[in-house]
Structure 1
Amino acid sequence: MAPTKHRPDAFPLSETQRTLPIALLRAREAVMERFRPMLREIDVTEQQWRVLRVVQEAGEIDATQLARAACVLAPSLTRILKTLEARGLIALHRDAADRRRTLVNISAVGKALLHEAGQTSAGIYKEIEERLGADRIADLLDALENVTQDLDLSNADAPDDG
């Protein structure tokens, strides 16, 4: 890794192009620019897509868990859920055991949309895999998962396993 250049009058910060936040954002943009045409075609935002995918995988999920799993802030999730429900893509209902909890399910219309878009999405993933290689993607996903776990503030005080 090349050393960071510092000018005497500069802040003691790394060059932006070699910072983790910027590098992660650039990588995200490089990936997402391939998916955005598909999302525009089905009239779904990136956040809505993440929410739909998580709900599809979960079958039924509490809104709080959904926000965390889809990487969406709770106020944004409320708006997203209203939009998706109005389009008939999801169904919302109160938990019978705890009326404060909202449960989210994917609807038949939502399943159909994801199935249709899934064909295109799979093709995009295949193109990315052809460029990067399956092993490289797996290694990157493992590394990112480890970074997330190591930096998770909720686990900051947890004892090490080693």
Structure 2
Amino acid sequence: MGGGASGTPPQLSLKLDDQLCFALYAASRAVISRYRPVLDELGLTYPQYLVMLVLWEHGAVPVKEVGAALQLDYGTLTPLIKRLEVAGLVRRERRVDDERTVQVIPTEKGLRLHERAHAVPAVMAGAMGLNEDELAQIRSLLRRLTENVSRDAGRGA
């Protein structure tokens, strides 16, 4: 277990308010809940929004790469993509140069939705009540936390 800046281990407690995991859980639930009405206007759920973010950024993307970007397994990702396909926002097709690879491609309707989605980050930043520096700091710390925990999970720590 890592210590603080001085190298001493953090104070260990079983109080709920002292648990970082609970603070992360509560924040995640609150943020995702706040996304709901904003994304309802776009006809998307939060996980569908994440898939669309990947596609809006990269265009045609193999399903495997969408899963890697979102840290989702194939069994979770496939139903999301199917629902987006039924809604006419994406299409799936096999790559011509490698028929084993299925790509997800935003449709014209999906690309038009991108224009409407431009307001989402500003609405959410306002709801969070944090300035740009605070948002950047939290994002950076959470990415580092994710990397550290993921790395340690591979060692059985």
Task: Determine the structure 2 residue equivalent to 1:150.
Answer: 148
Q: Deviations over 1:44-100 (max 9, x none)?
A: 111111111111111121101101212333112111111111211012111222211
Runs of 4+ in 1 over 6 A off after TM superposition: none
Aligned partners of 1:107, 1:30: CA distance in 2, in Å? 31
Q: Give the SS at the match of 1:44.
A: coil
Aligned partners of 1:98, 1:115: CA distance in 2, in Å? 32
Q: Give the SS at the match of 1:152.
A: helix
Task: Determine the structure 1 residue equivalent to 2:7.
Answer: none
TM-score, L = length of structure 1: 0.78
Q: Give the SS at the match of 1:43.
A: coil
CA contact (8 A) 2:62 2:101 kept: yes
Question: What displacement does 1:126 show?
Answer: 3.8
Give the aligned length: 146
Unaligned runs of 5+ in 2: 1-9
Structure 1 letter corresponding to 2:123: I
CA contact (8 A) 1:47 1:70 kept: no
Going from structure 1 to structure 2, the CA distance change for 1:128 and 1:80 (only over 3 Å counts) comes to: same
Going from structure 1 to structure 2, the CA distance change for 1:156 and 1:63 (only over 3 Å counts) comes to: same
Question: What displacement does 1:114 show?
Answer: 2.3
Structure 2 letter corresponding to 1:65: E
Please give the root-mean-square deviation of Cα atoms over the aligned residues, in Å: 2.3
Unaligned runs of 5+ in 1: 5-13, 158-162
Q: Map 1:7-156 to 2 at 5 A.
A: 14-119=14-119, 121-128=120-127, 131-153=129-151, 156=154
